Amino acid sequence: MVTLKTYGNVFDKLDFSKANSKASEIASMIDNKTGAGNDFLGWTDYASKLTVEEIDDIVSTAKKIRENYDALVVIGIGGSYLGARAIIEALEGLYPEDKFEIIFLGNTLSSTYTAQVLKHLENKKFAVNVISKSGTTTEPAVAFRLVKDLMIKKFGVNYLKDAVIATTDKKRGALRSEADQLGYKTFVIPDDIGGRFSVITPVGLLPIAVAGIDIKEFIRGIKDGEKEYSVPSLENPSYKYAATREALASQQHYHTELFITYEPQERFFQEWLKQLIDESEGKEDKGLFCSSAIFTTDLHSIGQFVQEGTPTLFETIIECDSPLQDVVIPSDEKDLDNLNYLQGKKLSYVNDKAYRATLDAHSNGHTPCNVIKIDKMDPYNLGNLVYFFFRSTAFGAYLIGVNPFNQPGVEIYKKNMFKLLGKPEKK
Ligand code: PA5
């Protein structure tokens, strides 16, 4: 179970009476599926309902991919992409040994990125997991067409049937009908789970399993989270965190939340969090803006602003004591770099001292800090953390009175883009 701590005098001034009085009502809207967007609350107990057969199907498909291919290309964007990348990178690091190569595509319209990935794939035998709930999103659809073209030219059309796995809606969308017509293996994204809550479904589970991560442990962490974070009061750390963010914004004018990590491999976990929260609560002129930084790297860029700039930011730090790996700082007789005071120390020790020093400097300045702590960066704890944020996001959106599960604003740029591209109207 995660723990939540706060640092900074401003927390003593927050009044939680509104959140306290609404907590059980909002908890019931989530648990009994009565709030706005209630047909998208399937994630609340999805992990508990997953059958052994469903999990085994994902695990055995992942095994086949690892045994028969050099790489997996995961095509998807937004909720159909960020969760898997977040979990894989957080647990494996950025340069792991013996890594099965996973390449993410279809998350951009950049011609340079796409051309470079296609070139990189030219000499590989690769499988493809194309992920799209709607089955019609432009970025993954274009990438999939390009990759299919490459596969057909390299291996012939029959290659597609075994090499392509589609994760999509049970019935609707262009990807579903293509998969049915061409006989791809498919996994289903449930109707009642939206993209940004879908990392706990095959959307996330298949790529995570292909990366060699134990998805049963990930699911166990989510299932424990289902019990731990459904307590219908602010005793629940997930709801307390949501209430704290809301109070910082509405009572103390802290309208930007900066997610902080001291581990660069957690960057995509931050990206996933930003999508989860900003897309869920940023509507009707409401919601906090979530951003992110990697310390100590960004202390050398935005650190000045955080310490002394306009006081509108608060930090939420994901803390974990044990790094994935460590190195010891060697001794050097000459000590020309004056670093012998650190010889024999682990680099994680230095990183931790930098963290403590920064927490003290920022929270005693004008930047309040939430610390969300997990015991270990492992599949169990990450599953549990994901569920913690699911609950806090739903609670926080209901607390400010918005539907957490739609994203009407995202459609506006798409309409403009389709007009400029001359996309034919649907008949
Ligand atoms: O959270 C969401 O709903 C979005 O980010 C979607 O996941 C994203 O737009 C991709 O949609 P789709 O899976 O339909 O291709």
Cis peptide bond prior to 51, omega within 30° of 0 = no
pLDDT for 77 equals 98
Answer yes or no: is the C-beta of 83 below 6 A from any ligand 1 atom: no
Closest listed residue to residue 244, CA positions, set 359, 363, 395, 382: 395
- Least confident segment among 63-67, 163-167, 318-322, 360-364: 318-322
Distance of CA 230 to the CA centre of its chain: 21
- The percent of residues above 90 in pLDDT, for the chain, comes to 97
Answer yes or no: is the C-beta of 78 below 6 A from any ligand 1 atom: yes
pLDDT above 90: residue 359: yes
> Mind telling me the catalytic residues?
279, 300, 414
DSSP letter for each residue of 335-364: -TTS-GGGTT-BHHHHHHHHHHHHHHHHHT
- In the reported structure, the alpha carbon of residue 80 is separated from the centroid of ligand 1 by a whole-number distance in angstroms of 6
pTM recorded for the entire structure: 0.96
DSSP letter for each residue of 195-238: GGGGGGSHHHHHHHHHTT--HHHHHHHHHHHHHHTT-SSTTSHH
The end-to-end CA distance of the chain, in Å, is 51
- The percent of residues above 70 in pLDDT, for the chain, comes to 100
* Average confidence score pLDDT of the chain: 97
Q: Are 293 and 235 in contact (CB under 8 A)?
A: no
Residues in CB range of 251: below 8 A, 6 or more apart: 13, 14, 15
Q: Whose CA is nearest to atom 8 of ligand 1?
A: 78
pLDDT for 427 equals 59
DSSP 38: G
pLDDT above 90: residue 425: no
pLDDT in tens, 249-301: 999 999 999 999 999 999 999 999 999 999 999 999 999 999 999 999 999 99
Answer yes or no: is the C-beta of 134 below 6 A from any ligand 1 atom: yes
Closest listed residue to residue 141, CA positions, set 114, 102, 119: 114
Measured distance CA(365)–CA(21) in Å, rounded: 31
Measured CA distances, 174 to 166, 179, 181, 205 (Å): 11, 9, 11, 23
- In the reported structure, the alpha carbon of residue 46 is separated from the centroid of ligand 1 by a whole-number distance in angstroms of 19
Count of Cβ atoms closer than 10 Å to residue 130 Cβ:
28
- In the reported structure, the alpha carbon of residue 232 is separated from the centroid of ligand 1 by a whole-number distance in angstroms of 30
Q: What are phi and psi for residue 66, nearest 5 degrees?
A: -60, -35
As a whole number, mean pLDDT of residues 385-396 equals 98
Encoded tokens for 276: 């989860």
Measured distance CA(270)–CA(290) in Å, rounded: 9
Answer yes or no: is the C-beta of 194 below 6 A from any ligand 1 atom: yes
> Which pLDDT band, with edges at 50, 70 and 90, does 98 fall under?
confident
Closest listed residue to residue 189, CA positions, set 130, 129, 133: 133
pLDDT above 90: residue 196: yes
pLDDT above 80: residue 129: yes
> Angle at which helices 237-252 and 379-399 pack, to 10 degrees?
40
pLDDT for 426 equals 73
DSSP 423: P
pLDDT for 97 equals 87
